[in-house]
A and B are shown apart, each in its own frame.
Chain A
Amino acid sequence: DTEVTQTPKHLVMGMTNKKSLKCEQHMGHRAMYWYKQKAKKPPELMFVYSYEKLSINESVPSRFSPECPNSSLLNLHLHALQPEDSALYLCASSHGAMRDFSYNEQFFGPGTRLTVL
């Protein structure tokens, strides 16, 4: 199984709502990532988890709260978002071991298309 799944595929929320995005992988990967991608722009890294610990936070506003409950699951909790946060949110995973560089190929999920009204 070389798949990263993301739910939901689409999400519409108001600025006062609380919602969560979910990402799951069963490849035994120990590094997981959240990216944000606006239309016709490249993906931008938000967070990196390595062995279930937050390793990188790219100065993301606190209205985005990541969580890694176990090695297979990554969540992104959303609260009080702004319309400009509307984007495609991508999750990725990689092996996470300091070995051959190829083990760190990142596998991306299909993304969640988020619209904030």
Chain B
Amino acid sequence: LAKTTQPISMDSYEGQEVNITCSHNNIATNDYITWYQQFPSQGPRFIIQGYKTKVTNEVASLFIPADRKSSTLSLPRVSLSDTAVYYCLVGGLNTGFQKLVFGTGTRLLVSP
């Protein structure tokens, strides 16, 4: 499984756009990139996933360059409630399930 590297922490203010970059130099051809969010004492929650180029949903955007060795999670106009740990994961499918290996994650603190 490809190892991921993220900043340990980031600070932002309400209303700003936050970009969290993840490095995954050893990503394999059949690997997807997935981001999860976790609040204290709760289970992680799926945010977004992608394979290449750009993916957007109602919560975030995921930018993946052509070489796929990195990816950037973009959170538009963050609020206080976006304070959480964000995990970048890289992996492919196994038969019927996916093995997730969480890296250290990025602790995002949003201030007023």
A55 to chain B, nearest CB (A): 6
Our pick among B34, B93, B99 for the contact of A56 (Cβ within 8 Å) is B99
Give the distance in Å from the alpha carbon of A4 to the alpha carbon of B97 in the complex.
17
A48 interface neighbour in B41, B43, B93, B97, Cβ under 8 Å? B97
For chain A, the count of residues having a C-beta within 8 Å of the partner chain is 32
Chain B: how many interface residues by the 8 Å CB criterion? 24
Asked if A59 is at the interface of the complex by the 8 Å CB criterion, the answer is no
Residues on the A chain within 8 Å of B51, using CB: 101
Known: A42-B103, A42-B104. A50 touches B41 (CB 8 A): no
Are A31's CB and B49's CB within 8 A? no
Can you list 13 residue pairs at the A/B interface with Cβ under 8 Å?
A4-B43, A31-B97, A45-B100, A51-B96, A55-B97, A91-B43, A96-B96, A98-B96, A101-B49, A102-B49, A107-B46, A108-B42, A108-B43
